[in-house]
Chains A and B, each alone.
Chain A
Amino acid sequence: MASFGSKVFLSLGRTNVSGVGFKKTGNRATYATALTVNSSSTNKDLPARGGKGSTGRRPKRGPGEPRTEKMALDQDWTSVYPAATPFRANAVPLPLRMGYPVKRGIPPEKKGNLELIKIPNFLHLTPAAIRKHCEALKPFCTEWPSALDTDAKCDELFPVKIQSTDYVSAGPSIRNPSARVVHMKVKLSSLNLDDHARKKMLKLVGDRYCKDSDILTIKTESCPLRQQNYDYAMYLLTVLYHESWKIEPWEAEKTRADMEEYSWEDSTSQKNILDTLLRINATGEGEEAEVREQLLGREEVLEYKDSVETLKNEEPSESNMLRYKEAVRKVLKV
């Protein structure tokens, strides 16, 4: 079909040139050049071939020897494959074979091998090419400040960590909606908080705080752009900080049940132990208040206080229970 089309085209060309007063002068020029080349070639070849009639084609040149034969051993490979291009069997001087072998055979050769063309090749990224690229890219890089060589120094000077993700993939769209998520991590010890402010901050923040690592994580994904999410995270941090320093009038109504830690002073445990000791030493020496204060000052009572506090605040373990047992025995002199 194509050959017939080309024959028709050439005949058209010839008639156009021969015809007088043809309108398309531009076309005439292009047809003329095509015609002259074709006529000269056909004139030469007609006697040799003597076949195909008046519409003889130019003889097809053979493929010639592959480029690999002409490649020197010390050639510059980066100029053979300067950018990512599909595999060309006659430009790669390696005896490659790829594919599943037929029975009792070997994998097919590289000439005309579709498997080698399909797979992405890294021929344009040889070590020499990478070195060249990096040499050229070096002027655009900056050095890391030498004073911040350890993680500890980084955390001390730059405690706020902003984490964000970029996505690169092929598809109908280059956008990825997950790219707008921002995680902001701060260590509470690096913020200027006093005792009350820290406790209030922990109550405000809830699950976002990790006790073991003392890191507050704020994850923002409600805004459509990453910049907006970052600004919102900073705004949240600011608000949390300032609100935790505020003391509201209703905070005075904090009861024992709201306390984060167990404190032994004015607790039922203190009352119980003092009552027990008073009953044991019921000689009635002085006023009860004075006797209680004396008892509080005693070593065993203090030890008992420590053991009860560790039991309540930390997780109960064997050592804690043993300590409590010893303290009780000492206090009650058993």
Chain B
Amino acid sequence: MLHYTRGQCRKKKKLQGFCFFYYLLNMAAPLVVRRELFSLVKILGGISQLGPRGLGACSNHRKCSQTRFELLQRPNTFFHTAAYLSSTPFTITVTDEPDTLFQKVVVLVKAHDRAVLDSYEFFATMAAKELGITMGKVFEPPKDIERLTLLKSVHIYKKHRVQYEMRTHYRSIELLHVTGCTAQVYLEYIQRNLPEGVAMEVTKTAMEKIPDHILEPMWKDHPIDDKSSK
């Protein structure tokens, strides 16, 4: 039997207080602040589809939005100094709620430009290596070309047409054996640095135990009269 205790090994980490990502990536002018605000709303809006079972991001979002406005009112003169960062404390609370386990997380990025995807792949693979996430396959699915043939002229001249095409290049990065906290951190980091014009699809395969009510059939304890109990 494997010694595996739920509470000890898999504890979720919740961020309370300031939103740390905001600090890391927003050390420039307030114009950039607004963009990151929007992207955070974008990402957390997508994650909030999980509903009440969510990863705690929804509640943090509210806290983060309050503190973000406090930051804007502070003087921007010494943004770059270490004093600014160290003076604002952020606390990590470890809860006893068991962390989700993802057997596989597949990140598929789509763009119109292959060079952008090359750079993004380098960034994503390096980030995964630095954070200690085991990587599976990193490959390039074949591109899709959608072609349209339209009439060249506004009126008549049916024999003269013009053809356009839209090329979509793909890149797939597979991560194996990721915990829920690590997945959330990595995906948020990746998605915040998603370049313009690049779309992403993340397919997560979570593992779960068999629920308790499926371990034994309920007819064993409560046999029904006209049916033989098993």
Contact = CB atoms under 8 A, between A and B. Distances in A.
B214 A238 contact: yes
With most chain B CB atoms within 10 A of its CB, the pick from A85, A120, A170, A197 is A120
Contacts of B25: 82-83, 133
Contacts of B199: 167-170
Contacts of A245: 217, 219, 230
B227 to A, nearest CB: 5
Contacts of A148: 4, 101, 177
Contacts of B226: 249
A259 interface: no
A192 B215 contact: yes
Contacts of A227: 49-53
Contacts of A246: 219, 224, 227
A160 B195 CA distance: 35
A322 interface: no
Nearest to A76: B80
A151 B46 contact: no
Nearest to A134: B130
A241 interface: yes
A42 B155 CA distance: 61
A130 B127 contact: yes
B182 to A, nearest CB: 4
Given A157-B4, A227-B51, A120 B130 contact: no
With most chain B CB atoms within 10 A of its CB, the pick from A82, A144, A158, A176 is A144
Interface stretch (B141-149, B156-164, B186-194): B186-194
Nearest to B115: A119
Given A136-B20, A154-B207, A179 B219 contact: no
B217 A241 contact: yes
Task: Describe B's contact surface by its main secondary structure.
Answer: mixed
Interface in A241-260: 241-242, 245-249
A240 B10 CA distance: 31
A158 B131 CA distance: 25
Contacts of B41: 174
Interface string B166-210: 000000000001111110011101010111111111111111111
A149 B103 CA distance: 10
Task: Describe A's contact surface by its main secondary structure.
Answer: mixed
Interface string A153-191: 110011111111111111000111001100000100011
Interface string A94-120: 000000000000000000000000011
A170 B211 contact: no
Contacts of B197: 120, 170
Given A137-B185, A163-B203, A166-B201, A85 B32 contact: yes
Given A125-B123, A158-B101, A144 B208 contact: no
Contacts of A194: 230
A83 B211 contact: no
30 contacts: A83-B25, A84-B195, A120-B197, A122-B119, A122-B120, A122-B123, A124-B193, A130-B130, A131-B130, A133-B24, A134-B130, A145-B9, A161-B208, A163-B203, A163-B204, A165-B201, A166-B202, A167-B46, A170-B196, A174-B41, A179-B49, A180-B49, A190-B210, A192-B214, A196-B230, A197-B217, A227-B53, A230-B53, A238-B213, A242-B218
Interface of A: 79, 82-85, 119-120, 122, 124-125, 127, 130-131, 133-145, 147-149, 151, 153-154, 157-170, 174-176, 179-180, 186, 190-192, 194, 196-197, 225-228, 230, 234, 237-238, 241-242, 245-249
Given A82-B80, A162-B205, A174-B41, 18 more contacts: A82-B25, A83-B26, A130-B130, A140-B92, A142-B12, A142-B99, A143-B132, A144-B101, A144-B177, A163-B203, A163-B206, A166-B201, A169-B200, A170-B197, A175-B49, A227-B52, A227-B53, A228-B51
Q: What 4 pairs between A and B have smallest CB-CB spacing? A: A227-B51, A120-B195, A134-B130, A245-B217
